[in-house]
A and B are shown apart, each in its own frame.
Chain A
Amino acid sequence: MSAVEPLIGGAGDPAEVLLRDVRALDPRAGLDGRCDVLVSGGRVAEIGEPGSLAAAEGAETIDGQGRLALLPGFFDPHVHLRTPGQEHKEDIETGTRAAAAGGYAGVLAMPNTDPVLDSAPLLGSVREIAARRARIPVGFLASITRGLQGELLTEMAELAEAGAVGFTDDGRPVESAGMLRKALQYQRLCGGVLALHEEDRTLSRGGAMNEGAVSAALGIAGIPTIAESTMVARDAAIAGYEDGRVHFMHLSCESSVAAVAVAKEAGVRVSAEVSPHHLLLTDEDVRALDTRMKMHPPLTAEPDRQALIEGLRSGTIDCVATDHAPHARDEKEVPFEQAPMGTTGLETAFAALYTGLVEPGLMGLGLLVERLTAGAPLFGLPVARIAAGAPADLALVDLEARFVAGERGWESRSENCCFAGRTLQGRVLLTIAAGAVAHRDRTLEMVGA
Chain B
Amino acid sequence: MNHLLSIEDLDRAAIERIVAQAERFAEVSDREIKKVPALRGRMVLNLFYEASTRTRSSFELAAKRLSADVVNFAASGSSVEKGESLKDTVLTLSAHKPDAIVLRTPWAGAAELVSRWCGAAIVNAGDGKHEHPTQALLDVYTLRRRLGSIDGASIWIVGDVAHSRVARSNILAFQRMGAKVTVAGPPTLIPRGIEQLGCEIRYTLDELHTADVVYALRMQRERMSETWVPSLREYASCYQIDGRRLGPSQVLMHPGPVNRGVELSGEVVDSPQAVITAQVEAGVVVRMAVLYELLAGSAAREGDAHAEQAGGAGAAHAGGEETAPPAMAARGMAAGGSA
Asked if A178 CB lies within 8 Å of chain B CBs, one says no
At the interface with chain B, which of A19-27, A211-219, A253-261?
Answer: A211-219
Do A219 and B85 touch across chains, with their CB atoms under 8 A apart?
A: no
Whole-angstrom distance between the Cβ of A289 and the nearest chain B Cβ: 4
Whole-angstrom distance between the Cβ of B98 and the nearest chain A Cβ: 20
Do B105 and A211 touch across chains, with their CB atoms under 8 A apart?
A: no
With CB as the reference atom, state the residue of chain A lying closest to B88: A330
- How far is it, in angstroms, between the C-alpha of A217 and the C-alpha of B161 when the chains are bound? 11
- How far is it, in angstroms, between the C-alpha of A1 and the C-alpha of B86 when the chains are bound? 50
Q: A336-B109, A338-B107 are in contact. Are A216 and B87 (CB under 8 A)?
A: no
Asked if B112 CB lies within 8 Å of chain A CBs, one says yes
- How far is it, in angstroms, between the C-alpha of A330 and the C-alpha of B164 when the chains are bound? 29
Partner of A335 from B108, B164, B191 at Cβ < 8 Å:
B108
Do B86 and A216 touch across chains, with their CB atoms under 8 A apart?
A: no
Do A335 and B105 touch across chains, with their CB atoms under 8 A apart?
A: yes
Asked if B194 CB lies within 8 Å of chain A CBs, one says yes
Partner of B109 from A216, A289, A333 at Cβ < 8 Å:
A289
Q: A213-B193, A215-B191, A289-B112 are in contact. Are A220 and B105 (CB under 8 A)?
A: no
- Total A-B pairs, Cβ < 8 A: 71
**17 chain-A/chain-B pairs, Cβ below 8 angstroms:** A211-B192, A212-B192, A214-B193, A216-B194, A217-B168, A218-B108, A218-B109, A219-B129, A219-B165, A219-B168, A220-B128, A222-B191, A222-B192, A333-B85, A333-B87, A334-B87, A337-B128
Whole-angstrom distance between the Cβ of A165 and the nearest chain B Cβ: 38
Q: A216-B191, A217-B196, A220-B130 are in contact. Are A337 and B168 (CB under 8 A)?
A: no
Asked if B304 CB lies within 8 Å of chain A CBs, one says no
Do A335 and B196 touch across chains, with their CB atoms under 8 A apart?
A: no
- How far is it, in angstroms, between the C-alpha of A335 and the C-alpha of B5 when the chains are bound? 14
Which residues of A are found within 8 Å of B87, using beta-carbon distances?
A: 330, 333-334
Do B110 and A330 touch across chains, with their CB atoms under 8 A apart?
A: no
Q: Which 10 A-B pairs have the closest CB atoms?
A: A335-B107, A219-B129, A289-B109, A213-B193, A213-B196, A216-B193, A219-B130, A216-B191, A216-B194, A335-B110
Do A212 and B130 touch across chains, with their CB atoms under 8 A apart?
A: no
Q: How large is the interface on A (under 10, 10 to 19, 20 to 34, 35 or more residues)?
A: 20 to 34
- How far is it, in angstroms, between the C-alpha of A338 and the C-alpha of B83 when the chains are bound? 14
Whole-angstrom distance between the Cβ of B118 and the nearest chain A Cβ: 14
With CB as the reference atom, state the residue of chain A lying closest to B105: A335
Asked if B212 CB lies within 8 Å of chain A CBs, one says no
Q: A216-B192, A216-B197, A220-B108 are in contact. Are A335 and B113 (CB under 8 A)?
A: yes
Asked if B131 CB lies within 8 Å of chain A CBs, one says yes
Whole-angstrom distance between the Cβ of A211 and the nearest chain B Cβ: 6
Which residues of A are found within 8 Å of B107, using beta-carbon distances?
A: 334-338
Whole-angstrom distance between the Cβ of A197 and the nearest chain B Cβ: 24
> Interface 1/0s, chain B 79-104, versus A by CB < 8 A?
00000011100000000000000000
- How far is it, in angstroms, between the C-alpha of A215 and the C-alpha of B86 when the chains are bound? 23
- How far is it, in angstroms, between the C-alpha of A102 and the C-alpha of B109 when the chains are bound? 32
Do A334 and B85 touch across chains, with their CB atoms under 8 A apart?
A: yes
Most buried by B among A216, A218, A219: A219
Whole-angstrom distance between the Cβ of B255 and the nearest chain A Cβ: 15
With CB as the reference atom, state the residue of chain A lying closest to B194: A216
